[in-house]
């Protein structure tokens, strides 16, 4: 398995026969080098979105049309895009599991908000979500944008993920201290990768507090387009 950060909350996850682009916000992302876009999306088989906010939906539609690949996510948002944008979509909902190139992807709860921008204000985009992605002997918990929630208790026990990709930048999501607390209390991760940080001055710029709160866990501060082999 190979996990590559695309900046902010975007990831390229190569698992089983799938190359998943998660929340691919590339154009306008301060951390993403625009001249490396082709490298980031090359060979992608699916796009996976956690919720409707622009810093997560980002380039999803453009890439889906360019590569002719489906976008998977919450039914409400995907069905809207299928009608309005003509993309191929895989709409499902919390508790549902889909097979993406051999990787089993289950939608789980998150606690945030979700909307698309509209001319008269926000437009409903279905509920925010996270994902459990299982394959190659691992399970990745992709938190999406969330705060700590009691649902993490059953999620950690039921899915037993060994890898956590956790939002941890604060202000809009959990901060580093909260993410560390949630990881200790609800999960038994071997590896944790923070995201939704460093993008703007408003967000945390370092994951030192996360690492300090998780002794014995491999906390990896990712660098954009530098693959992490698991």
The pairs formed by 104-107 with CB atoms below 8 angstroms and a separation of 24 or more are: 104/133, 104/134, 104/135, 105/48, 105/72, 105/131, 105/132, 105/133, 105/134, 106/131, 106/132, 106/134, 106/159, 107/74, 107/131
pLDDT in tens, 6-53: 999 999 999 999 999 999 999 999 999 999 999 999 999 999 999 999
The DSSP secondary structure of 192-218, one letter per residue, reads: EEEES-SSSTTS-S--HHHHHTSTTSE
Cβ pair 30, 58 in contact under 8 A = no
What average pLDDT does the chain have?
98
pLDDT band at 202 (very low <50, low <70, confident <90, very high): very high
**Mean pLDDT, to the nearest integer, of 220-224?**
98
pLDDT in tens, 45-97: 999 999 999 999 999 999 999 999 999 999 999 999 999 999 999 999 999 99
pLDDT in tens, 117-140: 988 999 999 999 999 999 999 999
Question: What is the structure's pLDDT at 24?
Answer: 98
**In the chain, domain spans:** 2-223
Cβ pair 160, 87 in contact under 8 A = no
Cβ pair 13, 227 in contact under 8 A = no
| Six-digit token string for 72 | 């998977």
CATH 3.40.630.30 assigned to domain 2-223? The reply is no
**Mean pLDDT, to the nearest integer, of 152-156?**
98
């Amino acid at each position: 398995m190979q996990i590559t950060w695309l900046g902010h909350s975007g990831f390229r996850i190569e698992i089983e026969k799938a190359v998943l682009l998660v929340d691919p916000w590339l154009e306008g992302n301060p951390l993403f080098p625009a001249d490396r876009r082709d490298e980031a999306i090359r060979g992608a088989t699916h796009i996976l979105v956690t919720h409707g906010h622009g810093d997560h939906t980002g380039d999803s539609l453009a890439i889906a049309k360019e590569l002719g690949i489906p976008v998977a996510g919450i039914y409400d948002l995907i069905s809207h895009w299928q009608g309005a944008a003509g993309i191929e979509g895989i709409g499902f909902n919390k508790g549902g599991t889909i097979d993406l190139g051999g990787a089993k992807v289950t939608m789980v709860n998150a606690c945030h908000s979700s909307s698309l921008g509209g001319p008269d204000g926000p437009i409903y985009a279905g509920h925010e979500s996270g994902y459990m992605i299982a394959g190659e002997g691992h399970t990745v918990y992709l938190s999406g944008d969330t705060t700590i929630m009691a649902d993490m208790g059953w999620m950690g026990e039921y899915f037993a993920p060994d890898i956590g990709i956790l939002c941890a930048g604060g202000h809009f999501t959990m901060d580093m201290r909260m993410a560390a607390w949630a990881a200790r209390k609800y999960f038994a991760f071997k590896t944790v990768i923070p995201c939704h940080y460093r993008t703007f001055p408003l967000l945390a710029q370092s994951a030192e507090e996360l690492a300090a709160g998780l002794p014995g866990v491999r906390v990896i501060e990712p660098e954009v387009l530098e693959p992490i082999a698991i």
